[in-house]
Amino acid sequence: MIRGLRLAALAMTASALLLPSCSNSREANDVRFLVGFSQANLTEPWRIAMTEEIKAEAELHPDMRIIYADAADSTSRQIDDVRRLMDYGIDLLIISPTDSHALTPVVREAYSSTPVIVLDRAVEGYDYSLFIGPDNERLGREAGSVVIELLGVRSGSVLEIQGRSGSPPTLLRSQGLREVLSKRPDIKIVDTVVADWLRDTAEDKVAERIRARPGIDIIVAQNDAMAFGAWRAARGADRNGIRFIGIDGLPGPTGGIELVQKGVLSATFTCPTGGKEAVIYALDMLQHKEGIPKKIFLRPRKVTSAALAASQKGVPYAREEPISPGRRIVLGFAQVGAESEWRVANTKSIKAAASKAGIELLFEDGRQRQENQIAAIRDFIRRKVDVIAFSPVVESGWEEVLREAKEAGIPVILSDRSVDLKDDSLWLSFMGSDFVEEGRRAARWLVENMRTTGSVDIVELRGTIGSAPAIDRMVGFTEVIQDYPNYRIIDSESGDFTKLQGYEVMKGILSREDRKIDAVFAHNDDMAIGAIQAMEEAGLKPGKDVVVISIDAAHGAFKAMLEGKLSCTIECNPLLGPQLIKAVQDYMNGKDLPIRMITAEGVFPSATARKDLIGREY
């Protein structure tokens, strides 16, 4: 039956679904993989570009056939499209949702039997194989930085033009813009227009607003089409002197790049559609390759007249050609140390994946000291490795050595932890966990499982001071519990991610704290296990008297849960080796890498620990 439906799909004519992208000369029997693509609409220029990108990349793979469905911006139609595509027996679904919330159930339904790649707008939860999209909050921050550059030391008034009200790209781009401008109180967002991503709507609404607000200096639009509409409105009202910023950076007539060249826009930002990447990763999944992340965020690029004049490349360290056949890749990796069970598993995973792939790995243990990692990176530069990867012990202080790597033409991949640098061209890609989300998950689990309106006093054991996971996990945890006034952190100290320090810090807190401690949130399992020992010595029963939550989900945590001492652990997957090695190989073969790759992770409460432990590798 499925075979017949597949053949029907390949033979159908244009109706609710569009024609397959492959040339008519290909026979249905030549097709190895049948992929369905459900597009939100084909009216927005950016989505048209996404669809064309998918078609172009699919044409390079003769054994793949793609069936296209245009939802025409109707959520109900897109739900029907997905179910119809599934009925045709597709091997994989690619979807760019009209609405994140409304499409979540049907995506979950499809994912139960078929790999699913979600483009642009992530659905809720993690019931999909891979999300590919732009870093929308980053795009907003970049736009805010351009506003500040254009105004310099002057104060100014900004009009913001948003896309669709409530959509994730709209919310995140606005959030990023406002975050940056909040640092300049003299620059005000004086008005906001919602124009649904459409040029004509933006033109009509801006025409109304600029008559009422004569002092607007800059208009920031969340896509180029709306920015162009705003420019037309300003020109029609004879309002000179307003500067315009867009997002999308598409080529072609009235695309953002041409609008910058003509001086219509002061700046735009490339917002990769992910179409090409969706096809590439679809093939990787269908061929059962290792190292597929859970989320990838594509690198945006600022486009200004100066940048175009300098002919800047879109990707730092871009390779012109793949590596010569037969030449062995050399990877230099500078590890933080061996401070925890997680880190030991991480090192083992990297070494095993490099060995399996035939990559020569130069491995250095930083022993928890930044100066050791910097020395290792300089040694890798001297030895002219192909790629450098490292897990930075702290976020800051890397500019000089990473600039040396860039000048030597050696790309740098960040593994597990990020860096805090103004110049993001000093590193190629980050892979690892979403530490902020891990903190949020810990807080959500605590609130959902304690279910109390009484006061909850929490002790937080933070990781290494200045490290990305310590900073971000605290941010995520605090973000959630601040909505629950009865939950409060009464003490927060660094345990440096080690069992011994977790024990010592918790022992000190217990010796001076006269309030009842209801919960302990530890930034990793090792500190939690140390804290459990300190609590037991103080006569407390962790897991009963005190709720204990940690992050990592290593074997030690599961042992503590089985003993009833740890309440829940949030996964931070250390098995990044296959993902890192795939990224190195992709880069050496001439492929562009995303700016961020996030690994798949879960939440493991003590109630299911015995079942969850079966088959775990760490």
pLDDT tens column, 59-72:
999 999 999 999 99
pLDDT, one tens digit per residue, over 199-253 is 999 999 999 999 888 889 999 999 999 999 999 999 999 998 999 999 999 888 8
Q: What is the pLDDT of residue 314?
A: 43
* CA 298, chain centre distance (Å): 8
Among the listed residues 393, 455, 445, the one whose alpha carbon sits nearest the alpha carbon of residue 419: 393
Q: What is the pLDDT of residue 307?
A: 82
Q: Which CATH fold topology does 435-572 show? A: Rossmann fold (3.40.50)
User: What region does 327 belong to: left with phi over 0, alpha with psi -120 to 50, or beta?
Assistant: beta
| Residues 494 and 555: beta-carbon distance below 8 Å | no
Q: What is the pLDDT of residue 463?
A: 95
CA distances from residue 347 to 351, 523, 563, 569, 578 in whole angstroms, order as listed: 6, 20, 28, 21, 12
Q: What is the pLDDT of residue 318?
A: 54
Q: What is the pLDDT of residue 2?
A: 45
- Paired tokens of 54: 């998918």
Among the listed residues 526, 521, 601, 520, the one whose alpha carbon sits nearest the alpha carbon of residue 556: 526
Q: What is the pLDDT of residue 13?
A: 32
Q: Residue 418 and residue 396: Cα distance in Å, rounded?
A: 9
Among the listed residues 554, 525, 542, 546, the one whose alpha carbon sits nearest the alpha carbon of residue 463: 525
Q: What is the pLDDT of residue 163?
A: 95
Beta strands 596-598 and 268-270, pairing class: unpaired
* Cα end-to-end distance, the chain, whole Å: 42
| Residues 81 and 104: beta-carbon distance below 8 Å | no
Q: What is the pLDDT of residue 327?
A: 87
CA distances from residue 508 to 144, 219, 531, 543 in whole angstroms, order as listed: 44, 54, 10, 20
Number of helices (H) and strands (E), helices first, in the chain? 21, 25
Residue extent(s) of CATH 3.40.50.2300 domains in the chain:
2-128, 136-270, 330-433+575-600, 435-572
Question: What are the φ and ψ backbone dihedral angles of 182, each rounded to 5 degrees?
Answer: -65, -20
Q: Which residues contact 16 (CB under 8 A, 6 or more apart)?
A: 69, 77, 80, 81, 84
Rounded mean pLDDT for each run of 10 residues along the chain, 618 residues in total: 48 41 47 95 92 96 95 96 96 96 96 96 89 93 96 96 92 95 96 95 95 92 96 93 95 89 95 95 94 92 85 51 82 93 93 97 96 98 97 94 96 93 89 92 95 94 93 94 95 96 97 93 97 97 97 95 97 94 93 90 94 87
Q: Which CATH fold topology does 2-128 show? A: Rossmann fold (3.40.50)
Long-range pairs, 422-430, Cβ under 8 A, ≥24: 423/399, 424/595, 425/316, 426/316, 426/398, 426/399, 426/402, 427/402, 428/315, 428/316, 428/317, 428/587, 428/593, 429/583, 429/593, 429/594, 429/595, 429/596, 429/597, 430/595, 430/596, 430/597
Q: Which CATH fold topology does 136-270 show? A: Rossmann fold (3.40.50)
Beta strands 360-365 and 330-335, pairing class: parallel
CATH annotation of 330-433+575-600: 3.40.50.2300
